[in-house]
Amino acid sequence: MTAKDVRHRAEELRKQINYHNYRYYVLDAPLIPDAEYDRLLRELQTLEEQHPELVTTDSPTQRVGAAPLKKFGAVKHEVPMLSLANAFSEQEVLDFDRRVRERLEAVAPGVLPPATLVEPFASALPCTAEEVEYSAEPKLDGLAVSLLYRDGVFAQGATRGDGVTGEDVTQNLRTIGAIPLRLYGAGYPALLEVRGEVYLSKAAFEELNAAARARGEKVFANPRNAAAGSLRQLDPKITARRPLAFFCYGVGAVERGKLPGEHGALLAQLRDWGLPVAHEQRVVSGVQGCLDYHRDMAARRSRLEYDIDGVVYKVNRLDQQELLGFVSRAPRWAVAHKFPAQEEITEVLGIDVQVGRTGALTPVARLKPVSVGGVTVSNATLHNQDEIDRLDVRVGDSVIVRRAGDVIPEIVSVVRERRPHGAKPFHLPKHCPVCGADVVRAEGEVVARCSGGLYCPAQRKEAILHFVSRRAMDIEGIGEKLVDQLVEHKLIETPADLYMLTKEQLAGLERMGEKSAANVVAALENSKATTLARFLYALGIREVGEATALALAQHFGDLNALMRADEETLQQVPDIGPVVAAHIVAFFHQRHNREVIERLLDPRVGGITWPAVKIAQRLPLAGKTFVLTGTLETLAREEAKEKLQTLGAKVSGSVSSKTNYLVAGADPGSKVEKARELGVEILDETALLKMLRA
């Protein structure tokens, strides 16, 4: 064959193989036997081996072959991968539907048709109830991932991670046959980010464990663990040997292209482009349709080829989703309706008391190991003394245990008929089991706490680990094992002691040579220049996360002013209520906490400093909302975001009527069109830089 004929044949083979992948993975309707498919693939492999210049990144032959990685890189999701709120009862689903309808009626009156009331909860719905259309889907028990396609070619894949940043598992995702390396058909956007779930079918899970047993290796506890472990292998060849599958359930970022305006139609379009979608997905009418779907899926659950732990309801119209918006880290327009937890009976071997970072004492029942829903359970939280008293749990009791929401093991009840003679009631100790300090329980609280504060070794380790963490003081080289050694050798008692460590002290510890010790000392020195927000977060005040710490810093602008503030003053800060305010006041009222802070700021000890902070109301961009899109030439997008936030601006991921400015770099995508439709002012990079300088 001529070079032209070879190229044409390779292209034809790729086209045929992609089509048969689509028939097999998406339509579940293969046209040819496996042997014929293998023949086509072998022919393509032979051509590419003989003519390496013909190999393309989206060729079906390129699913395996990348070199093992040393570690996964980080991928920041342009559109956050949010978690879902859970509903465990029909009443909670009714409440979700009511909130959806009420909010839609509030922001867009008259957009909904009359609803049909739901029995037997009709009385729970207002007489003005209106009906919403939902997309109902099975909730797979797998690992959430995002797939980025550029001009229809798979370019990058990542795990969900913390919802903002995930791990780059591109090479491993390329090994999964159900994920197309090139989208099928035409009409897809120039950039399309697909969200979905990687999972193992029940049959594949059994085959995987059978093979492991035959090799004398450890078996996986459940399909989800097996899928997660398989996808996070540093060697893609190992992942390729695992029979992973994939279903998509939505999209994230989209640029230069349009998608259907309804979620159900969107999934159908993704299916047409070669992306597998769960066959059980349905569009239902109103909350009654949701509840009927849940009952149907619960009845069919055991017969499905894959594990599910519930179903998901999403408002079907995408414009209504946008109107509903988000709360915290979850959308208002979706909810996961979980199935009842699976239960088993086992024995309480003992009750231990754990002391957490905040000093909270948590009783934990040590159980005779039992399998609950495919997971071996050997511990269950008892929460607090009130819960122990309610259940009347005693050592030696036979108990019913379940995984609440199929996640957290808990004791449901005690089988008193089996209680052994002489079993005694359990009470939390009066003194901390770690440091011996008094255990106190504040009036109105259910949690008992160690009064040892930062001096309690249990709290000390956790407090220091939090202090040095990346989002706090960001001190590289100090991890859990090093902190354990520092505390056990009594080299540190509080975070302030970290800054008194010498290179000689560190070098004398296990696995710490002179170079590593020097690196830690340098990292400690570098951490001294920080921000007030980071410092506040690093202190580990109860319920003060990064966002709250930033709000406090920008509201008060000064640490001393914050430390003097009372609860009423603190509640004037946006998003801070009475509970958080009480925690902040209690923290700063503790003498030993103030002493540690003084040492951290003392130039002779910690020497921590930060630049002056401008009060939020005085910042030039306070109250303004920006959206960034496209590629900026002189600033990384994250850098631009930080500069805007420093000036008091809010940076959002999507354009809405509340957006003040859209900053558009190169290849901005569809956000520009939406900004024009809404009359939002559009800035180029030059205008942004001018604004930042001003």
Catalytic residue among 4, 76, 139, 218: 139
Pairing of strands 165-167, 681-683: unpaired
Give the angle 439-445-448 at the CA atoms, nearest 5°.
20
- 485 Cα distance to chain centroid: 31
Active-site annotation holds for 139: yes
Omega before residue 120 within 30° of 0, cis: yes
List of residues 6+ apart from 691 with CB closer than 8 A? 621, 683
Burial 452-481 (b: 16+ CB within 10 A, else e): bbbebbbbbbbbbbbbbbeebbebebbeee
Q: Are 681 and 108 in contact (CB under 8 A)?
A: no
The phi, psi pair for 175, rounded to 5°, reads -80, -10
Residues 646, 640: Cα–Cα separation, whole Å: 10
- Closest alpha carbon to 134 in 15, 343, 272, 284: 284
**Token reading at 332:** 């208002």
- Closest alpha carbon to 183 in 273, 62, 252: 273
Q: Are 58 and 24 in contact (CB under 8 A)?
A: no
Collapse the DSSP code of 325 into the 3-class scheme (helix H, G, I; strand E, B; otherwise coil) and give the result.
Answer: coil
- Closest alpha carbon to 279 in 303, 258, 295, 262: 303
Contacts 24+ apart (CB under 8 A), 376-385: 376/221, 377/344, 377/346, 377/401, 377/403, 377/409, 379/409, 380/409, 380/410, 380/411, 381/408, 381/409, 381/410, 382/351, 382/411, 383/446, 384/446, 384/447, 384/448, 385/427, 385/428, 385/441, 385/446, 385/448
**Token reading at 489:** 């050798």
Q: How many CB atoms lie within 10 A of CB 17?
A: 18
- Nearest-Å Rg of the Cα atoms of the chain is 29
Cα torsion for 684, 689, 691, 693, to the nearest 10°? -170
Q: Are 246 and 198 in contact (CB under 8 A)?
A: yes
Residues 243, 300: Cα–Cα separation, whole Å: 23
Give the angle 484-550-593 at the CA atoms, nearest 5°.
45
List of residues 6+ apart from 668 with CB closer than 8 A? 255, 629, 630
Give the 3-state secondary structure of 50-105: HCHHHCCCCCHHHHCCCCCCCCCCEEECCCCCCCCEEECCHHHHHHHHHHHHHHHH
DSSP 340: P
Residues 531, 513: Cα–Cα separation, whole Å: 31
Q: Active-site residue numbers?
A: 139
